[in-house]
Structure 1
């Protein structure tokens, strides 16, 4: 009996390990140098990758090799913590993935050659994503190795989420942070054990990397969950994004100081930015980190917009931290990778970086991070000001006791332009 029991235990441990032991948290894989301008598109405009269940969207990107390479895609459903869910693929996907991306076009009238790829969801192979939740899409090469991956989220409209942006209540953060208060209401769902089954995902300006998670409701009134925390839902306010515009790549326009046409592709030299942390807050219109591809002399900017070397320079004489400075924005998915790390020019006393960016309108910011990629929001190059206009998005996850996956049952949005004390 003892030996039989031991064998049964070993068998179940082996099965459990095979099914769950190797399930790792899915993280976004940054693309190689030749893959640029990755974006989720809906109704011909860039989108934060959050879509209502049943809506269509596209994933678009450029390959600077321009050789019409074969790329494939794989879609994985994940739980709240981005672990692959135990669901078989046919429960969350109608049709097939692991198919070749067939919609691609080569660039036209551009100095920088590239192939532009568009993956539509749904398509003839992937007819439908059946359920809400966290997803990650992986783009694979011919050897089925991952080239890059991106997260996206599908939600259902089953709850309402009233939100309000307020100034921080703590004295040491009142000038530099913004606090989000909100509640979750539903006439459709009766929340079971909300302290355990309801989770939130709160983020700023479309950035998943600084999201606030795992905050339980403080209390409930009937079927309404109340979140009125003082510190747990605070964000560093940051400063308005910087921008440049080169939709006419042959002329110096907004924040472009001069051009260089003596190289293989155009060079756009931006005016030197001063670190704004010690300056008073000054409002400037931005699009909260987003970008738009645009060539005013083209019919189809997707394939006729050119690439330019954009030269950034930053004057930050009081920066003394032993950390790195990166140029980030939606155009590079806020990646703090070596490709976007600035170098210090001791002769000029400036931080400099040249980055290949598709022409149009681009928001960017300077980000401080250590060698491990941990971002230092407190010591931001451009400071933190409670007046900064930021967009906030909140997603509500719900998993009933009998459910096998985490549903996203609602979305709320708020802007700090309506901030109150």
Structure 2
């Protein structure tokens, strides 16, 4: 499977500790459809150049026009909070209310749609590259959810190649990322310690490969030609469905019911764990909000109860099956768990999607 990979380089002057010290706060049930974008729609994890625009939107299905506030913090490579003061990395202020919101229109599910764009009147921009966390609070100051993002500067040139694993045991199941870093006229002092690397598959920071060391140097080039250390499981294409027309059983949908909301029952899927790769272009675990016959899909799109079914197979053993993707920031928890149903001999789950 050809998946998207992204390589980030960080220059740092501190001792690396455990990666992921600061974890993200998962949104509660009533916060849905968080979309976090930079200037390019392709990126699922916002990685923007210094000075570019950042936008985050989400829905509150309580529909009560709640007030939400945001704060921005700067972090080191290992996601520990940096020593920079707010004024050193932020131009303007944070801890201000999100002013742009609209209520749903003509939809069965009531919701309020919020949009935050940076820069804005209060938060005029970010001054430093690096790792950032944006945190959202309610009127009472209680943390509701967080998201990570990255701000980069083009300091070095990077060449990347995606290859099949050289290990014959994984030649049909893993992809290997090899890359070079050309520092040009920049002098890299002790790159083994001061240069940090981050390789992402499908923009998923939770499965990132971090802090690979250069294997050797050719002039101003640092060479990273690992095999196992920089390999990802390739998998198959993501399962997909299209519910842009709530009243029509489109791609991947078996049938529809109209109750208090629209219920979409997806086709029962078969496990593809040991099956050959099947080419079917997808969006690599991401999601897109679309609604036909609307003027503003942000507030007119329906929320649909989507019913998933996977045919039982014996090789599962004591493993678990989950719905997995960027719709909830690649989180695996009780809400994504697919339970076995004896009557239908399938694993099932139901989730609300816009």
Q: Flag whether TM exceeds 0.5 (same fold).
A: yes
Residues 316-366 of structure 1: CA deviation (Å, up to 9, x unaligned): 3123332321101111211101111111101211000010000xxxxxxxx
Residues 260-286 of structure 1: CA deviation (Å, up to 9, x unaligned): 01x111000000000012322221111
Stretches of structure 1 that go unaligned for 5 or more consecutive residues are 1-23, 359-421
Q: For the Cα contact (< 8 Å) 2:196–2:212, is it kept in 1?
A: yes
Alpha-carbon distance between aligned partners in 1 of 2:315 and 2:67, rounded to the nearest angstrom: 45
Residues 311/246 of structure 1: CA separation in 2 closer, same or farther (3 Å cut): same
Select which of 76, 94, 103 maps to 1:79.
76
Residues 309/122 of structure 1: CA separation in 2 closer, same or farther (3 Å cut): same
Alpha-carbon distance between aligned partners in 2 of 1:134 and 1:114, rounded to the nearest angstrom: 31
**Correspondence for 2:15:** none
Q: For the Cα contact (< 8 Å) 2:39–2:53, is it kept in 1?
A: no
Rg larger for: 1
**Correspondence for 1:275:** 271
For these two proteins, the number of residue pairs brought into alignment is 334
**Correspondence for 1:293:** 289
Select which of 321, 326, 341 maps to 1:325.
321
Q: How does 1:331-350 map to 2 (within 5 A)?
A: 331-350=327-346
Q: For the Cα contact (< 8 Å) 1:40–1:46, is it kept in 2?
A: no
1:354 aligns to 2:350 (yes or no): yes
Residues 353-390 of structure 1: CA deviation (Å, up to 9, x unaligned): 010000xxxxxxxxxxxxxxxxxxxxxxxxxxxxxxxx
**Correspondence for 2:63:** 66
Residues 333/279 of structure 1: CA separation in 2 closer, same or farther (3 Å cut): same
Two-structure CA RMSD over aligned residues (Å): 1.3
Residues 52-92 of structure 1: CA deviation (Å, up to 9, x unaligned): 11001211000000100010001010000000001111100
Q: For the Cα contact (< 8 Å) 2:197–2:210, is it kept in 1?
A: yes
Q: For the Cα contact (< 8 Å) 1:111–1:265, is it kept in 2?
A: yes
Select which of 254, 257, 272 maps to 1:257.
254
Q: How does 1:208-287 map to 2 (within 5 A)?
A: 208-261=205-258, 263-287=259-283
Moved more, 40-49 or 295-304: 40-49
Residues 181/25 of structure 1: CA separation in 2 closer, same or farther (3 Å cut): same
Residues 46/62 of structure 1: CA separation in 2 closer, same or farther (3 Å cut): farther
Q: For the Cα contact (< 8 Å) 1:258–1:270, is it kept in 2?
A: yes
Moved more, 44-53 or 139-148: 44-53
Q: For the Cα contact (< 8 Å) 1:158–1:188, is it kept in 2?
A: no
Q: For the Cα contact (< 8 Å) 2:38–2:47, is it kept in 1?
A: no
Q: For the Cα contact (< 8 Å) 1:39–1:47, is it kept in 2?
A: no
1:188 Cα deviation (Å)? 4.4
1:44 Cα deviation (Å)? 8.5
**Correspondence for 2:140:** 143
Alpha-carbon distance between aligned partners in 1 of 2:73 and 2:244, rounded to the nearest angstrom: 36
**Correspondence for 2:196:** 199
Alpha-carbon distance between aligned partners in 1 of 2:98 and 2:233, rounded to the nearest angstrom: 40
Residues 337/207 of structure 1: CA separation in 2 closer, same or farther (3 Å cut): same
Alpha-carbon distance between aligned partners in 1 of 2:165 and 2:41, rounded to the nearest angstrom: 34
**Correspondence for 1:304:** 300
Select which of 68, 89, 93 maps to 1:92.
89
Q: How does 1:153-172 map to 2 (within 5 A)?
A: 153-172=150-169
Alpha-carbon distance between aligned partners in 2 of 1:81 and 1:298, rounded to the nearest angstrom: 44
Q: How does 1:112-123 map to 2 (within 5 A)?
A: 112-123=109-120
Stretches of structure 2 that go unaligned for 5 or more consecutive residues are 1-19
Alpha-carbon distance between aligned partners in 1 of 2:317 and 2:122, rounded to the nearest angstrom: 51
1:43 Cα deviation (Å)? 5.4
Q: For the Cα contact (< 8 Å) 1:219–1:225, is it kept in 2?
A: yes
